[in-house]
Amino acid sequence: MAKSRNKNRYQFYIATIDTEIRQRKKLEMDLHMALEQSELSLRFQPQVNLNSSRIIGVETLLRWNHPDKGNISPDTFIPIAENSLDIIPIGDWVLESACSYLSAWRQSGFDDLRMAVNLSAVQLQDKSIVERVEGLLSKYQIPADKLELEVTETSIMEDIEVSCAQLNRLKEVGVILALDDFGTGYSSLSYLKRFPFDKIKIDKSFVDGLPDSKENTVIVEAIIQLGKSFGLEVIAEGVETMAQEKHLRHAGCLEGQGYFYGKPVLDDEFLDVLKNWDRDQ
Ligand code: C2E
Ligand code: MG
Ligand code: MG
Ligand code: MG
């Protein structure tokens, strides 16, 4: 009796794994076609200076509208694209599209704006990324310090030596390098010293608890001080309330990004945001 129950459980378990593998494989195949089927698109979210309330930058965020499943989160499909290496053509498309939009916005008079693009570990390890970035800057006539590349601690951990060398090459090109989701990986402190970062992004999970959580308050204040000591720009991610903004500003954080300032929107909506921003403040 017990034996047959265990056998049933085992078969159920295998069937579940089998279904999961199939589903992932299917998603991987669908994703492979997504770029040419025009299912991928970009959204843009403002980054704001907390003292002047001006928009200083914008982060590009990728979206996948699956024909049957609707919107799938990048947290789900980016790892699949990394695994299949489709992140290389997809990431190239994101980079080029972002540069093209930035170039158009610069021509509309927003020439101080900085464009931030997320770079996956796989793209960072790819030796040709540096030439690609240089090529895009020259094609779209974008000053290097108007392009920011965001990498996560986890992604530089994949191969520390190669990541460090690649980041140094990108730094020589003059682009801004940001460490995304700061505080969620490990050994953060040693990386700050070792890698040529210009900026750290305080992860949303720490900003969430402000100002009520004592722990998060202490962590956020420590990160801001740390950034200052290392001469790094510090931006808080996931700012949703005025209370959070106030707290961050008092703690000496100069920049913020989050729904409080604006959700990620389509390019033409973002241009409207840029045009109306100062008037609305
Ligand atoms: P991330 O780079 O840390 O981006 C911030 C995420 O927080 C975005 O989620 C954004 O929509 C969300 N967010 C911003 N402000 C708020 C807020 O106030 N409240 C809440 N609840 N969420 C907020 P999204 O767009 O789903 O992206 C998730 C992650 O996927 C990104 O995290 C990034 O790691 C990755 N990703 C997105 N686009 C790309 C891309 O083009 N390439 C690569 N390699 N990764 C990407
Ligand atoms: Mg990011
Ligand atoms: Mg982040
Ligand atoms: Mg993230």
Identify the helix (H) or strand (E) that includes residue 6: helix 2-34
Over 80: is that where the pLDDT of 186 sits? Answer: no
Predicted pLDDT of residue 118: 98
Predicted pLDDT of residue 185: 76
Please tell me the distance from the alpha carbon of residue 114 to that of residue 102, in angstroms, as a whole number.
8
Predicted pLDDT of residue 279: 65
pLDDT single digits (tens) 94-149: 999 999 999 999 999 999 999 999 999 999 999 999 999 999 999 999 999 999 99
Is the CB of 183 within 6 Å of ligand 1? no
The band of 3, judged by pLDDT with boundaries at 50, 70 and 90, is low
Predicted pLDDT of residue 242: 96
Tell me the mean pLDDT in the region 214-233.
Answer: 94
Q: Which residues contact 190 (CB under 8 A, 6 or more apart)?
A: none
269: left (phi over 0), alpha (psi -120 to 50) or beta: alpha
Over 80: is that where the pLDDT of 80 sits? Answer: yes
Predicted pLDDT of residue 189: 77
Q: From residue 158, how far is each of 45, 189, 191 by CA, in Å? A: 28, 17, 13
Over 60: is that where the pLDDT of 187 sits? Answer: no
189: left (phi over 0), alpha (psi -120 to 50) or beta: alpha
- Closest listed residue to residue 264, CA positions, set 101, 104, 47: 47
Asked whether the CA dihedral 14, 19, 24, 25 is positive or negative, the reply is positive
What's the gap in Å between 180 CA and the centre of ligand 3?
5
Predicted pLDDT of residue 1: 53
212: left (phi over 0), alpha (psi -120 to 50) or beta: alpha
Q: Which residues contact 79 (CB under 8 A, 6 or more apart)?
A: none
Tokens representing residue 229 in the block: 């000591």
Ligand 1 atom nearest the C-alpha of 181 is 3
Predicted pLDDT of residue 11: 78
Is the CB of 118 within 6 Å of ligand 1? yes
pLDDT single digits (tens) 262-271: 999 999 999 9
10 Å Cβ neighbour count for 190? Answer: 9
Is the CB of 229 within 6 Å of ligand 1? no
Q: How high is the ipTM of this complex?
A: 0.98
Over 80: is that where the pLDDT of 235 sits? Answer: yes
pTM over 0.90: yes
Is the CB of 151 within 6 Å of ligand 1? no
What's the gap in Å between 37 CA and the centre of ligand 2?
25
85: left (phi over 0), alpha (psi -120 to 50) or beta: left
Tell me the mean pLDDT in the region 187-206.
Answer: 88
What's the gap in Å between 36 CA and the centre of ligand 2?
24
Please tell me the distance from the alpha carbon of residue 179 to that of residue 249, in angstroms, as a whole number.
20
pLDDT single digits (tens) 55-78: 999 999 999 999 999 999 999 999
Contact yes or no for 280/273 (Cβ under 8 A): no
Contact yes or no for 34/65 (Cβ under 8 A): no
pLDDT single digits (tens) 134-169: 999 999 999 999 999 999 988 888 888 999 999 999
Please tell me the distance from the alpha carbon of residue 107 to that of residue 55, in angstroms, as a whole number.
17
- Rounded mean pLDDT of the chain? 93
